[in-house]
Amino acid sequence: MTDPVSVTFHAIDLEAIATATGHIAVLVDAEGKLDQAGRRVNKLTRGALLRLVESEGFGALKTGDAATLTMPVGMAAEAVVAVKLARKCSTGEARKAGGAVGKSIGKGGALLLAGGHRAAADIALGAALRAYEFDAQKSKKSDPKGGLQVMCSDPDATAAIAAPHLTAAAGVFFTRDLVNEPANVLTTDAFAARLEAMRDLGLKVEVLEEADLEKLGMGALLAVGMASVMPSKVVVMQWQGGGDEAPLALVGKGVVFDTGGISIKPAGGMEEMTMDMGGAGVVSGVMRSLALRKAKANVVGLVGLVENTIAGNAQRPGDVVTTMKGDTIEVINTDAEGRMVLCDVMWYAQERFKPVGMIDLATLTGAIIIALGHENAGIFSNDDELCGALLKSAGAEAEGAWRMPMGAAYAEGLKSRIADAKNVGGRPAGSITAAEFLKRFVKDDTPWCHIDIAGVALKSGDSDTAPKGATGWGVLTLDRLVKDRFEKG
């Protein structure tokens, strides 16, 4: 498991800057002004920092971007990283600036000269998130990264603000590790074992095996995985830090690999279908975060773990399966399998836990990428209050999210001639009809949000706070939602 780099906060010590090793990061405002620590670096480098800051290239940088002085004369540091950031900046800008610092952290670590910047904690979080590296499957491991030291005006106060965010970063890394793992490593058994290991953190973890799922009547979920040698499972994780209150339920799609089944996907890009368990990965990361910070809330995380593959006993287009709810579903497309997994787990969550609200996450549709690209997750909901709180949390954590419409007219395409519903509604509004399918399995008195993370769970290039690959989108948002809306005291 990948752990975040250590982050420590210290009082400003101008004399220590000259002998600091590794990389030193200096914050420069939009006007090119240097604070006290920046001026000290400029003096040590005999004016080289100011010449960099006053250059045309630095002036053209966007907020949060950085330029580097390598092997600066007069300092022990390997490099000085000048980061452009206004004193008044957004959370996203601060974390992007931190990402520029985190990207540079190597074996020698880094020193961030944050001074009195009000966003020092967010800059530190951005750095910790961007310093992530996944090398579990490489024969030659990278050198361990050094820590991040933050010099700031009020280290105790800044550390207190940063602490819960840095704890959540551990949950983000757990999610990224899960999503980045290949399917021959992260089998359904291995996934369940990693979640069972979180009992050591105080989580109550149960694994429902295929025999249990058959007794419960989860015919839709079992049909998805019946062609695989990997056993289908549902893992239930409970964090009980809020007394006798009914829990918030988080439900994740955990398709550890998705061939599409008989409705097989094109070969190009199929290797990325190791990330089709991204929703389950996010739920797992959130549960880890809540346990690590001992959240004063009751939250249950449920993940359906299956593999959608091909064999002689694979489900076929035209098959009819019966869900735990009792609804019959005509399978039109075996590649619309995620909703078949979620519908049974969602119904089970409501029947067993009577949650105060339910949020499901899934890499569900390519259609959401067509609609929103890779910048925003799609949010669908039957409850304005819960949806508003979720969107507010996403905004506060600078994780892109956009509410999408729903309505009875969209559900018309799900009508089946031979069963209660079809599992797809055609090409138009594909992400919306998928949400309408899931809505069939939400009880009238359950506030619910569906989050389609197909466009944000894995990226083909670097982002502000993550290298190429899994992003961990959603862990910070849901951790904040629990903190702001469901925690006591």
Q: Which residues have a catalytic role annotated?
A: 265, 339
Q: Which residue has the tokens 């944050």?
A: 114
SS (H, E, C) the chain: CCCCCCEEEEECCHHHHCCCCCEEEEEECCCCCECHHHHHHHHHCCCHHHHHHCCHHHHCCCCCCEEEEECCCCCCCCEEEEEECCCCCCHHHHHHHHHHHHHHCCCCCEEEEEECCCCHHHHHHHHHHHCCCCCCCCCCCCCCCCCEEEEECCHHHHHHHHHHHHHHHHHHHHHHHHHHCCCCCCCHHHHHHHHHHHHHHCCEEEEECHHHHHHHCCHHHHHHHCCCCCCCEEEEEEEECCCCCCCEEEEEEEEEEECCCCCCCCCCCHHHHHHCCHHHHHHHHHHHHHHHCCCCCEEEEEEEEEEECCCCCCCCCCCEEECCCCCEEECCCCCCCHHHHHHHHHHHHHHHHCCCEEEEEECCCCHHHHHHCCCCEEEEECCHHHHHHHHHHHHHCCCCEEECCCCHHHHHHHCCCCCCEECCCCCCCHHHHHHHHHHCCCCCCCCEEEEECCCCCEECCCECCECCEECCCCHHHHHHHHHHHHCCC
Residue 45 contacts residue 186 (beta carbons within 8 Å): no
Q: Taking the alpha carbons of 135, 136, 138, 139 in that order, is the dihedral positive or negative?
A: positive
Q: Which residue has the tokens 């551990």?
A: 170
For residue 421, CA distances in Å to 73, 262, 322, 331 come to 71, 20, 11, 9
Q: Which residues contact 155 (CB under 8 A, 6 or more apart)?
A: 9, 10, 11
